[in-house]
Amino acid sequence: MRFLFFLILFLLPFQPVFAAVDVALRGQNPVHLEDVYQQDSNIYVAVDDVLPAVGLSGYWDSIAHSFRIKTSRGWALISPASSYLKIADNFYPLQDKPRFIDGRLRVTESFIVNQLSLLTGRSIYFRNLDPDTNTKPEDDKNGLEQFFAFLLNKKTPSSGPLLRAVAIDPGHGGLDTGVVSASGVKEKELNLELAGKLAKKLKMRLGIPIYLSRDGDYEVTAEQRLQAAAHEDVDIWLLLHAQSAFGAETQGVTLFIRPEGEGRQQVAQAEGAVAPASESMQLARELAKAMNEAGIEVLGIIPSSRLSLGQGNLPTVQVEMGFMSNPGELEKLQSADYQNQLVQALYQGIQRFAQLSEE
């Protein structure tokens, strides 16, 4: 079948060749797709054309402004102009952002070959039938490698204040709304509101500089978020988010930190000792303790390889402040009382962590 098709192509070498691709699970008959666009030397294929070709299905969720893909591991999400594939609470980096072109959300070869094989558990056959775009220049290996190389290391001075500066990242912004509740509340707005209040409290109480990666409703690149944390005097980096779950009952705060370093654990094992907790873990524990004392439920501290946390040893915690899928918790998250309580607990946790570092 495929052979026949190539034969026809071969026999008609002077016919104008329009952009088209063949996609399939490896070993199966390829599906021929012609609604294909070329942009920035990439081929963009509509995601709802590609999914059936590899045995998946999905739909555009106009409320969450993302495309939901049904997989055996649960729902996977991609959003226009977002650099991540989200599966449950894990974020997987994308080489190319999905784009809306001609009314359809479209993905590139990299997504089809890499992410769809992750989602199907099978390897994917992809062939670009337009020879003009087959030679993709290997110039900029995109920002992702630079992103990975971006090390956030604590630059502790020998003397000076316990806490020199704090960086806060209000998650999402602009077109990237984050979670949108059933009632239409956008996560990006909650994150910004809480970040502003926390920044104000820290400035007033501690008199130190606070670096916000955004102070309004606009889109921020992953690099820009990391840059706010990369200031010379930053001793703590907090990322503020809110999440959603399938069930409306799920509630509470979850704290994410980078995976505890394997290298450190090996050294500790060799010495017959337990590896000391990373500073991020210590910070997360202080935050959790302060929140528990304030009556705020903390579900756990989870070491996670989510890319948004960057790399290095800068004490960093991503605070998932609550579940917007829980109407009661959402209402609390929007109330000034609860916001102040949350901010006060975060402030206390930060302060105790700083005192701990001094000892």
Query: Cβ closer to Zn ion: 265 or 305?
Result: 305
Question: Judged by CB, which is closer to Zn ion: 171, or 349?
Answer: 171
Nearer to Zn ion, 44 or 237 (CB): 237
CA-to-CA separations, 137 to 40, 132, 134, 175, 348, in angstroms, rounded: 10, 12, 9, 29, 51
Shortest Å distance, C-beta 239 to Zn ion: 9
**Which of 106, 186, 188, 241 lies at the binding interface for Zn ion (CB under 5 A)?**
241
Stretch near Zn ion under the rule CB under 5 A, chosen from 129-137, 170-178, 275-283, 339-347: 170-178
Among the listed ranges 63-71, 131-139, 167-175, 328-336, the one in contact with Zn ion (CB under 5 A) is 167-175
Q: How far apart are the C-alpha atoms of 119 and 272, rounded to whole Å?
A: 40
Closest to Zn ion by CB, 244 or 280: 244
Contacts of 221 (CB under 8 A, 6+ apart): 143
* Closest residue to Zn ion: CB criterion: 241
SS3 content of the chain, % helix, strand, coil (to 5): 35, 25, 40
Tell which one of 30, 98, 173, 178 touches Zn ion (CB under 5 A).
Answer: 178
Residues 6 or more apart whose CB falls under 8 angstroms from that of 244 comprise 179, 181, 323, 324, 325
Q: What letter would DSSP give residue 180?
A: B
Task: Identify which of residues 33 and 192 has a Cβ nearer to Zn ion in the complex.
Answer: 192
* Contact region with Zn ion (CB under 5 A), list: 20-28, 63-71, 177-185, 306-314: 177-185
CB 178, min distance to Zn ion, A: 4
Residue 56 or 240 with smaller CB distance to Zn ion: 240
Distance CA 126, CA 121 (A): 16
Closest approach, Cβ 62 to Zn ion, in A, equals 19
State the Cα–Cα distance between residues 358 and 355, nearest whole angstrom: 5
What residue type is assigned to position 115 of the chain? Q
Q: How many residues does the chain have?
A: 359
Q: Binder to Zn ion among 58, 171, 322, 349 (CB under 5 A)?
A: 171
How many Å apart are CA 73 and CA 95, to the nearest integer?
22
State in angstroms the smallest separation of the CB of 241 from Zn ion: 3
Please, what is the angle between helix 142-149 and helix 222-229, to 10°? 20
Q: How many chain residues are in contact with Zn ion, going by CB under 5 A? A: 3
User: In the complex with Zn ion, which residue's Cβ is closer, 30 or 178?
Assistant: 178
164 binding Zn ion? (CB under 5 A): no
Chain residues in the site for Zn ion (CB under 5 A): 171, 178, 241
